Amino acid sequence: MSAHATPHRLGLSFGAVGTIFKREMATYFATPLAYVFIVVFLVLAGSFTFYLGNFFDRGQADLISFFQFHPWLYVVLIPAISMRLWAEEINSGTIELLMTLPITTADAVLGKYLAAWAFTGVSLALTFPLWITINYLGSPDNGAVLAGYIGSFFMAGGYLALGSFISALTRNQVIAFVIATAVCFILTAAGSPLVTAAFSSWAGDGVVAFVRSMSFMNNFQDIMRGVLDLRDVVYFASLILFFLFCTVAAVNRFKGA
């Protein structure tokens, strides 16, 4: 890193973050990766909504059958985005070139993360025909639908922050994908009886309650029904900030900071 940037190593420059953001967004849409991800996400989301969620058979003008599958979609699809965030840079050695720019590690981490999050947001926004459909078929609570979209977006941000950290721990994208998928699955299923039963046999109720509170699924349940609980918002925001901080530390380790 240049001498100019060193005094501000732990600070943030919004100009630098914006530059990294634009660079990453251009990279996404310069390759087939973006279009493949969007198509796969839309096809899977639609299939789950109409076939597994029984969208028409439910006879309800809402998107519960759409949102309820998002945690499981993100378990597999988000690591496919996050695996390249840092593992690719580290393996190819371009991380050294990136860090010679007058930016801090935090600038680079935040810029790359926001680009991945924005790209995920674009994919989510392209499901808007479902929102139009329920307004055509009935009189939905659009406030609840909007809350569901916001909650899904923040949940995706949580998965991405976790995946970004794991990507910064390895040089291999495949390893980053597998580990991120496994960890995301564990955090998603943390509130299920399958997981809590493993703790209830030896841990107290407090430990079981804590494990349940760490579940992505549990913290998204109320939001997808239109209930914005401050505890759920704090959960996702804290998760994002914590793993971004861990990512900064991991990237500093690789670049010898």
> Would you place residue 257 in the very low, low, confident or very high pLDDT band (cuts 50, 70, 90)?
very low
Contact 65, 212 (CB under 8 A): no
Helical (H) or strand (E) element with 206: helix 205-213
Residue keyed to tokens 């809402």: 62
- Alpha carbon distance 207, 205 (integer Å): 5
Is 83 a residue whose pLDDT tops 60? yes
Confidence (pLDDT) at 186: 86
Is 90 a residue whose pLDDT tops 90? no
- Alpha carbon distance 134, 126 (integer Å): 15
Inside any domain, residue 13: no
Inside any domain, residue 9: no
Inside any domain, residue 7: no
Confidence (pLDDT) at 222: 81
∠ CA 207-212-213, rounded to 5°: 95
List C-alpha distances in Å: 65 to 36, 54, 61, 125, 222.
Answer: 24, 7, 10, 17, 14
Domain that holds residue 78: 19-254
Contact 164, 85 (CB under 8 A): yes
What tens digit of pLDDT does each residue of 146-164 get?
999 999 999 999 999 999 9
At 103, list the tokens: 């930016």
At 23, list the tokens: 């660079």
Inside any domain, residue 174: yes
Inside any domain, residue 221: yes
Number of domains in the chain: 1
Those residues with Cβ within 8 angstroms of residue 214's Cβ, 6 or more apart along the chain or in another chain: 187, 190, 191
What tens digit of pLDDT does each residue of 35-81 get?
899 999 999 999 999 888 888 787 787 888 899 999 999 999 999 99
Inside any domain, residue 124: yes
Is 13 a residue whose pLDDT tops 70? yes
Inside any domain, residue 8: no
Inside any domain, residue 248: yes
- Alpha carbon distance 92, 66 (integer Å): 39
Residue keyed to tokens 């793993």: 243
Residue keyed to tokens 């790359």: 112
- Alpha carbon distance 8, 48 (integer Å): 47
